[in-house]
C-alpha cells in the first residue's frame, strides 16, 4: 500500500516497550500531532482513585470505560487528520494507518517500568513485582479485547510492522517506522527482532548448506521467538552485536510448522540449544 494512503501511524505494544518515547519522537520528527490513549486511561485511573491494574480489571466489569474510549478513537480515525496514535487498540479502528506493534523482553520491559517516576496510578517495589503486574495488566487487556471485539492484540499478523525494542534504541525503532511509512507494504508483518532473544532450534554450525547472509525465519510462541531457518545468519547477528535483525514470521500460536502447532514446536525444539538471552547475557 502506498504512503499516500497511510495517513496516520498507530502504535500498539507491550507495556514497557517504549511506545510513548517512540511515538513522541515520531511526532516531533514528522511534525504530526500525537494522541496517547494510555495517558487518558491513567488520567481516568487517577480520577477514580485506582491503580493502572485496578482500572483494567474494573473495565472488564464496566464497559462504559471502553465505550467512551472506543468512541473517541472512532471519532479520531474518522477525522482524517494525520496523527501519531499511541493506543492498544487503535489498529482496530484505523483502517488506513501504518499499524506498528512494539515488543520487549518481559524483564527488560519491567526494568523500564520500574525506572519511571512512581505515582498513585503506577508504582512497583522491585523488578519482579513490575514484571508480574505488567503481565496481569496485559492479560486483562487481552481478554477484554477478545471478549468485546473478537481480536487478540498479541497476534502479530494484526500489524504491518513488528519491532523489538529490547536492545534497540528509540532512534533505531523510529527509523524503521519511517522507512516503512515511505515504502509499499509486503504480505504479512515486517519483523525486526533483537537477535539475542531468538531461540535456536538447530546447531548453527551444523545447518547444512546454510547461507550466513540468508533470511531468518521464525516462529512465535508468546512471549518467545525461535528460529526455524537461518540459524547461521542469527549466530552472525549475535556475534556482530546487531541490535535488530530482519526476520520473516513463519507461524505463531496454533499455526503449524512441520505439521505441529507453533507452541508444540517450540516446546519440543527450543530447549536443545537455547538463546543468548537464556544464557544470561544482558542487553
Angle at CA of residue 249, ends 238 and 16, nearest 5°? 65
Nearest Cα neighbor of 227 from 187, 184, 270, 256 is 270
Sign of CA dihedral 265, 257, 197, 204: positive
Indicate if the pLDDT at residue 23 is higher than 90.
Answer: yes
For residue range 174-196, list pLDDT tens digits in order: 999 999 987 766 677 999 999 99
Indicate if the pLDDT at residue 120 is higher than 90.
Answer: no
Give the pLDDT band (50/70/90) at residue 55: confident
Q: Are 244 and 172 in contact (CB under 8 A)?
A: yes
Indicate if the pLDDT at residue 117 is higher than 80.
Answer: no
Strand bridging mode 216-221 / 260-261: unpaired
More confident residue, 198 or 116: 198
Please compute the mean of the pLDDT values over residues 107-121 and round it to a whole number.
Answer: 79
Nearest Cα neighbor of 109 from 132, 141, 84 is 132
Sign of CA dihedral 134, 140, 142, 145: negative
CA distance 187 to 190: 8
What domains appear along the chain, each with residue ranges and CATH number? 3-181 (3.40.50.300), 195-239+249-272 (no CATH)
Give the pLDDT band (50/70/90) at residue 63: confident
Cα 243 vs. chain centroid, distance in angstroms? 16
More confident residue, 187 or 95: 95
More confident residue, 187 or 104: 104
Cell of 277: 538471552
The distance between the two most distant Cα atoms of the chain, rounded to a whole number of Å, is 61
pLDDT of residue 279: 42
Cell of 191: 519483523
Instruction: Report the predicted TM-score, pTM, of the whole model to 2 decimal places.
Output: 0.84
Amino acid at each position: 500500500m502506498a504512503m499516500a494512503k497511510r495517513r496516520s501511524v498507530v502504535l500498539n505494544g507491550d507495556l514497557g516497550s517504549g511506545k510513548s518515547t517512540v511515538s513522541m519522537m515520531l511526532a516531533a520528527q514528522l511534525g504530526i500531532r500525537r494522541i496517547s490513549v494510555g495517558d487518558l486511561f491513567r488520567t481516568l485511573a487517577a480520577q477514580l482513585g485506582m491503580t493502572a491494574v485496578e482500572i483494567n480489571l474494573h473495565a472488564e466489569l464496566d464497559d462504559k470505560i471502553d465505550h467512551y474510549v472506543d468512541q473517541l478513537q472512532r471519532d479520531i480515525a474518522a477525522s482524517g487528520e494525520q496523527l501519531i496514535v499511541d493506543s492498544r487498540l487503535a489498529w482496530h479502528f484505523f483502517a488506513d494507518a501504518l499499524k506498528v506493534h512494539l515488543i520487549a523482553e518481559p524483564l527488560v520491559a519491567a526494568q523500564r517500568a520500574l525506572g519511571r517516576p512512581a505515582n498513585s496510578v503506577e508504582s512497583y517495589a522491585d523488578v519482579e513485582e513490575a514484571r508480574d503486574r505488567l503481565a496481569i495488566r496485559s492479560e486483562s487487556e487481552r481478554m477484554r479485547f477478545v471478549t468485546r471485539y473478537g481480536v487478540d492484540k498479541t497476534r502479530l499478523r494484526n500489524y504491518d510492522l513488528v519491532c523489538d525494542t529490547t536492545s534497540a534504541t528509540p532512534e533505531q525503532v523510529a527509523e524503521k517506522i519511517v522507512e516503512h511509512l515511505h515504502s509499499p507494504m509486503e504480505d504479512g508483518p515486517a519483523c525486526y527482532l533483537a537477535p539475542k532473544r531468538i531461540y535456536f532450534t538447530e546447531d548453527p554450525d551444523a545447518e547444512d548448506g546454510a547461507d550466513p547472509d540468508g533470511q531468518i525465519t521464525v516462529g512465535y510462541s508468546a512471549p518467545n521467538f525461535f528460529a526455524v531457518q537461518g540459524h547461521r545468519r542469527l549466530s552472525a547477528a549475535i556475534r556482530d552485536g546487531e541490535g535488530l535483525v530482519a526476520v520473516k514470521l513463519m507461524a505463531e500460536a496454533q499455526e503449524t510448522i512441520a505439521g505441529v502447532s507453533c507452541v508444540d514446536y517450540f516446546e519440543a525444539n527450543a530447549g536443545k540449544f537455547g538463546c543468548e538471552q537464556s544464557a544470561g547475557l544482558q542487553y
